[in-house]
Amino acid sequence: MHVDLLIKHVCVRDDAPLVDIAIKDGRIAAMEPGIDASATEAIDAQGRAAIPGLIEAHLHLDKALLHRRLPARFGTLDEAIRVTGILKSRQEREDVLDRSRQVLDMAIKNGTVAVRAHPDVDLIQGLIGVETLLALKDEYQSLLDLQIVAFPQEGILKSAGTYELMIDALRMGADVVGGCPYNELNWQDTKRHIDIVFELAQRFDAPIDMHADFADDTSDQRFAAISYIAQRTIDTGYQGRVSLGHVTSLGALDNDALAPVIEQIRLAGISIVTLPATDLYLGGRKDVQNPRRGLTPVKALHNAGVNVAYSSNNVRNAFTPFGKADMLQIGNLLAHVAQFGVPEHQQAILDMGTHNAARAIGLSHDYGIAVGKQADLIILDTFKVADALLDIPPRLWVIKRGRITVVTQHHCEIHRHSCCCA
């Protein structure tokens, strides 16, 4: 047998022997110890661990790397939206392209093989975010899969003309209908916003990905919309095609109030994408004592069987002034704050950035390290899969559709000096 790429001596499971992975025509053709095949290219992993390619299920590229242009001073969601609105009004195509490329390159170097990006669609910046991403989707097609969400950050009813822009974005090639229902003026408009999102999704046969319930509590009903979204999902037959980002206000509910809501989410097949870097940074700002973590109840959702993923969300702007599009770094952060420390919980976090994220953006049918699957994987500079989140190791090789896309050379020396004291 001749293959395109042969990976020798790689660890894909810590409880199993090392295997070889044969890749042909962009797919995993065989995976077993001691494969006898010639290959156009070969990698000797020397026992290092491999994991499926990482997936950024929720990333803002058009607003990335704006952190020094108009720094936020208070760290609140309202301020972040206001500051970003000012900067959006100054957007220029080449600048958006340049900043987006910088973040995509960060993500690729860190082992990301797919991105669902959420460009703003509104009267402030028009369709520049969608237009630039459509260009980048072609430019980066050999490096990662790029999905585009038509995201109405400023609301739909509150911002007349946004509805028409969303239709234009979907006609141009946006893949997903976005929503931001809490950014309307009242609960009735929030519900109508959600209805419009589902109507557009059905019209274009597109999945849905909304920012929802992004608050510290549910005192304002606009931030307690998930039950309504879940019911609309079931009523429209959209189970498995809806993802929601943030959903932090769920964290304010006690167990008795939370349990039936989580059951609704599970029955609706909704994926929850937690965004810990942003949610931790913006959440609990008004709490004087015992400030809340501002995170969706990851453990309760996970234990109930809800598909939970995580992502970077923003990179260096008013919403999140940190980040480098590294899913292992964000996963490590999430494991700490969600208190997922035992081995099975650490594996669950790794799954949230890989298999669960693939499911959240509709890629799970062709994803994973298994025979017949698309060959999207990373070889890490560590020798156990379980150490991926602990070590946050260099990604030595990144493989996309069976082709090596990233090679990292990592060298470090410790110079030990013996004591010369008499």
pLDDT in tens, 173-220: 999 999 999 999 999 999 999 999 999 999 999 999 999 999 999 999
User: Residue 49 and residue 74: Cα distance in Å, rounded?
Assistant: 42
Give yes or no on whether 2-52+368-407 and 54-361 have one common fold: no
**Which candidate, 376, 337, 329, places its Cα nearest to that of 353?**
329
The Cβ of residue 414 has, within 10 Å, a number of other Cβ atoms equal to: 4
With pLDDT > 90 as the criterion, what percentage of the chain qualifies?
Answer: 94
Instruction: Say whether pLDDT at 410 is over 90.
Output: no
Q: 408, exposed or middle or buried, with CB in 10 Å at 0-12, 13-18, 19+?
A: middle
Q: What's the rounded mean pLDDT across residues 38-43?
A: 98
What amino acid is encoded at 8 in this protein? K
Determine the angle formed by the axes of helices 162-172 and 187-204, rounding to 10 degrees.
20
107-157: per-residue pLDDT in tens?
A: 999 999 999 999 999 999 999 999 999 999 999 999 999 999 999 999 999
The Cβ of residue 351 has, within 10 Å, a number of other Cβ atoms equal to: 20
Exposed e or buried b for every residue in 318-345, given b needs 16+ CB within 10 A?
bbbbebebbbbbbbbbbbeebebeeeeb
Instruction: Say whether pLDDT at 421 is over 70.
Output: no
**Residue with token string 């209805």:** 195
Exposed e or buried b for every residue in 42-75, given b needs 16+ CB within 10 A?
ebebeebbbbbbbbbbbbbbbbbbbbeeeebeee
Domain boundaries defined on the chain: 2-52+368-407, 54-361
Classified by CATH at the fold level, domain 2-52+368-407 comes out as: Urease, subunit C; domain 1 (2.30.40)
Choices 3.40.50.720, 3.20.20.140, 3.40.1280.30, 3.40.50.1170: CATH for 54-361: 3.20.20.140
pLDDT, position 422: 56
DSSP-H helix ranges across 140-275: 162-172, 187-204, 226-235, 255-268
Q: How far is CA 256 from CA 91, 314, 338, in A?
A: 46, 33, 20
Q: Mean of the per-residue pLDDT values for the chain?
A: 96
Beta-carbon contacts of 388 under 8 Å, excluding residues fewer than 6 positions away, are 49, 51, 328, 350, 380, 382
Residue 291 token pair:
């400030």
